[in-house]
Structure 1
Amino acid sequence: MGVTGGSGSFSQINRFQGYDGLMRWRPDYSGVIPNVAEKVQSSKGGATYTFSLRQGIKWSDGEPFNADDVLFWYEDVVLNKDLSPDPPAWMMIDNKLGKVRKINDYEVEFSFAKPHGLFLELLAEPTNDAPVRYAKHYLKKYHKKYNPKVNDLVKQEKLTDWVQLFQNHGGSDDDTVRWTVSNQPLLYPWTFTKAPDGGTGKAVAQRNPYYWKVDTQGRQLPYLDGLEYSFLAGSDTNSLTLMALGGQIDMEDQFFCIPQNKPVLADGRQKGGFDFYTTTPTEPNQAVIQLNLNHKDPVKREIFTNKNFRIGLSYALNRQEMINLVLLKQGAPWQVAPSKGSAYYNEQLATQYTEYSVAKANSALDQAGYKKNGSGVRVGPDGKPISIAFDIDNGRPVFVDLMPMIKTYWQAVGIQVNFTAMERSLWEERVRTNADFDATIHRFGGGNGEEVVLDPRYYFPLNGNSVFAAKWQAWYNGLTGSSASAGIEKPPAAVHKQMKLYDQLKQTVNTDQRTKLMNQILAIAADEFYVIGVSAVADGYGIVRNDFHNVPKSMPNSYIYPNPGPCNPEQFYIAS
């Protein structure tokens, strides 16, 4: 089987073969269900969760899995400051780390100082499977607590310390580490015989002979004996399209499945032996424009944090033209907001400043205090022309195609713009770990259903995905040192209020009360107007070969719902 992704990104692996945690999403995204856990019971108003682990599960090397592996993750990884300088955010409530206790070989208890209302949903997210991903019998060889001669291994492998040794052998939540170790025991349906190296080329995985799931007739899963991933350069969508047309891709809905490619794929699907399936969006916008509100340059920070400046930029965008030309008329002018009909819909947040009006744009920019010079260019408080440099992930061609239009619109109202499209790993480094980038475009986040609550990254500075305010989110999450590489700064009052409301929301088990709290957060987001949207997200698509079966005709498309993971890829099969 062939699955194709962009270089430097392990999202395809997470989505296809890496979704087996304690909990998982139902295929229809209607809620979470136990997975590696057979059942879970909540008590003390949501402050304690007791998991009964499925008995008989084995790691991919045949060794038994039990509660000792969960305790190893908690006691020897999470509580070890060398391995985990910052604890996992989903294990925190009121800035206090939860506790894990072994009841017996197949029961573990997670307890918190206060109710953790979102805990089970967070456990179902794709990268929160850590409690069942650290095989004690394998990893203890590389842990200083269990191996007194661990430094001998460090020297043999010419590494700096035992922490690097432990991580290099799979003991890390970082995808670039955990997926590049081919011999580590895992609970997934397939394990690598040729691991990805983070670049271009191929990776090969084979079926896990000890995988613990069976079908309704008692046959062991997965059906597919192996997977093959082809990693191409992030911007090489033409090669991906040609591979699809040539029948070389069994299934794919990322990277090259963009509106511009659908007509040629539709024309070639009969010859290529494939058809489409629908992906339903959960994001709040097709393209989220983010100025760096925490810029380390005080002049740029003053400009970008000026709300009238952002309002002016928003009015200057001809959204309908962008939708017509880049999105092929799929979408509608929209800010970054929950979808209409959602329990979280906020009309102000969704529709404000979406009118295309050069006059209103100029008026707002004038009110911001940045007048034009003799050349028609607006100058900042330092007397220099205002310029905005965008860093763009070249693996997202829609963003790259939008940028020349954004540049034209903003230059028309006196703002200089330039942009650089770069390989994804460089984009990650530039945007996620620095405080000196000007602006970027991204997507994802919550725009529909409970995903609004679980991933409000654009509604206030929640976590590292809130790149528009990295210093504020670092303060909120109590980050220190290298974990807050962009710096730490206490946020202004409105942002702080949102954070306090979200803390209250996280401790709320009652869904109606959570909805009320989230709507208060969204009302503040509407008033503050942190980020700028382009278009509501229309349905997307994926391609699947005609001989590749059990793929649903439609599925959600999200990071939190890591399609197709919840649709059970272990039951996909090939038959003519």
Structure 2
Amino acid sequence: MVTRRTFLGGLVGAAIAPTVLRAQQAVEPEFLKERLAAGSLPPMAERIPTRPRIVNLKEMGLEPGAYGGTVRTIIGGQRDIRFMTIYGYARLVGYDKHLQFQPDILADFHSEDDTVFTFTLRDGHKWSDGEPFTADDFRYWWEDVILNDKLTPGGGALELRPHGALPRFEMLDPLTVRYTWEKPNPMFLPTLAGPIPLVIVGPAHYLKQFHKKFQPDQAKMEQMMQANRVKKWQDLHIKMARSYRPENPNLPTLDPWRNTTPLPSEQFVFDRNPFFHRVDETGRQLPYLDRFILNVSSSSIIAAKAGAGEADLQATGIDFNDYTFLKEAEKR
């Protein structure tokens, strides 16, 4: 017996998107005003998808917020910028507060018996550099990354081949892709929604320059390899494409904040993504916060620095042993 589960988050947005769009001229973030005035950034109506994801805060018992603000936090090493991927929690498919799957980056997704998964993208969705986000970005990652034995020598993530074989990938149209397994793969959606999400898509327009198949200028490839201290083109591609640990500030992203700081650094600055796909019910483009500043410190003194007021929000480097000290430092 065939069972179907359909999640129509895109249709929720369709009902109220026109109201949101009409309000947008008055709700541009102050953080972007200079770029908007210079004409280097289009207005919000041209930056977000035709039907953005609407986050109705009042339905969650919250009041809509206001633009602005910088959050300082402390990390124990450069590798810990990966926590920004968790904090932002932008996923193709994510969990809601009831741990039910909901479309986020996707406009819609459809599952048939955990065997056939059809994903629909949001029309007009863009990467953080303003380039279109389309099904071709899934196709590139499938055909030229996962199926390339230099970039993926192990045959692909185990979550993609739970029974030994990879699924069949289809690009149905510029906004629709499909993955089909011969047997059910009930872990596909959970791995897409998890804290370390399974990567099945990347910005093809940017990454092709690092791929041997698409880079005709060997001298340029050698130059990029030398600049990034790698000896093989595949190592260059892997380094420049790493999204979970966003060390490459030039890598386009779909996250709410994008890294602006190259390695090495003792401080990383993440600025708001002006093309982020979510808005609140008043028409304000999310996120509200303009910037995250991550200061690198020794893990052993993160709690002391947080207690001294050097962090506005601290989720790592502290534990229950620090509770008494942090509680005493609360007012300070």
- What TM-score does the superposition give when structure 2 sets the normalisation length? 0.72
Partners in 2 of 1:182 and 1:11 — Cα distance?
13
Change (3 A) 1:115 1:233: same
Paired residues for 1:198-217 under 5 Å: 201-217=266-282
In the alignment, residue 233 of structure 1 is paired with which amino acid?
S
Correspondent of 1:50 among 105, 114, 118: 118
Change (3 A) 1:241 1:51: same
Q: CA deviation at 1:58?
A: 0.4
Change (3 A) 1:127 1:99: farther
Correspondent of 2:293 among 228, 245, 251: 228
Q: Which residue of 1 is the match for residue 33 of structure 2? A: none
Q: Are 1:98 and 1:113, in contact at CA under 8 Å, matched by a contact in 2? A: yes
Partners in 1 of 2:96 and 2:285 — Cα distance?
21
**1:37-80, Cα deviation, whole Å (9 max, x unpaired):** 1111112x321011111111100110010100011111111001
Partners in 2 of 1:9 and 1:193 — Cα distance?
15
Q: CA deviation at 1:187?
A: 0.7
Partners in 2 of 1:84 and 1:151 — Cα distance?
24
Q: CA deviation at 1:102?
A: 0.5
Match status 1:13 vs 2:84? yes
Change (3 A) 1:214 1:136: same
Q: Are 1:23 and 1:123, in contact at CA under 8 Å, matched by a contact in 2? A: yes
Q: Which residue of 1 is the match for residue 11 of structure 2? A: none
Q: Are 2:192 and 2:199, in contact at CA under 8 Å, matched by a contact in 1? A: no
Paired residues for 1:141-220 under 5 Å: 141-150=209-218, 152-158=220-226, 159-169=230-240, 171-172=241-242, 175=244, 178-195=245-262, 197=264, 201-220=266-285
Match status 1:240 vs 2:311? no
Change (3 A) 1:228 1:14: same
RMSD, aligned CA? 1.9
Q: Are 2:75 and 2:297, in contact at CA under 8 Å, matched by a contact in 1? A: yes
Q: Which residue of 2 is the match for residue 123 of structure 1? A: 192
Paired residues for 1:115-514 under 5 Å: 115-132=184-201, 134-150=202-218, 152-158=220-226, 159-169=230-240, 171-172=241-242, 175=244, 178-195=245-262, 197=264, 201-234=266-299, 236=300, 239-256=301-318, 258-271=319-332
Change (3 A) 1:150 1:58: farther
Q: Are 1:93 and 1:113, in contact at CA under 8 Å, matched by a contact in 2? A: no
SS in 2 for 1:251: coil
Correspondent of 2:93 among 18, 23, 44: 23
Q: Are 1:154 and 1:165, in contact at CA under 8 Å, matched by a contact in 2? A: no
Change (3 A) 1:21 1:99: farther
Q: Are 1:195 and 1:205, in contact at CA under 8 Å, matched by a contact in 2? A: no
Q: CA deviation at 1:95?
A: 0.9
In the alignment, residue 322 of structure 2 is paired with which amino acid?
N
Change (3 A) 1:156 1:42: closer
Correspondent of 1:79 among 147, 162, 169: 147
**1:500-540, Cα deviation, whole Å (9 max, x unpaired):** xxxxxxxxxxxxxxxxxxxxxxxxxxxxxxxxxxxxxxxxx
Q: Are 2:116 and 2:180, in contact at CA under 8 Å, matched by a contact in 1? A: yes
Structure label with greater radius of gyration? 1
SS in 2 for 1:69: helix
Structure 1 range deviating more: 47-56 or 58-67 = 47-56
- What TM-score does the superposition give when structure 1 sets the normalisation length? 0.43
SS in 1 for 2:316: coil
Overall identity of the aligned pairs, in %: 29
**1:71-114, Cα deviation, whole Å (9 max, x unpaired):** 11111110011001121111113111112210111111011121
Q: CA deviation at 1:196?
A: 5.2
Correspondent of 1:36 among 105, 108, 117: 105
Structure 2 unaligned residues grouped into runs of 5+ = 1-70
Q: Which residue of 2 is the match for residue 526 of structure 1? A: none
**1:349-381, Cα deviation, whole Å (9 max, x unpaired):** xxxxxxxxxxxxxxxxxxxxxxxxxxxxxxxxx
Match status 1:94 vs 2:163? yes
Partners in 1 of 2:104 and 2:76 — Cα distance?
29
Q: CA deviation at 1:151?
A: 5.1
Structure 1 unaligned residues grouped into runs of 5+ = 272-576
Change (3 A) 1:182 1:11: closer
Q: Are 1:205 and 1:227, in contact at CA under 8 Å, matched by a contact in 2? A: yes
Q: Are 2:159 and 2:188, in contact at CA under 8 Å, matched by a contact in 1? A: yes
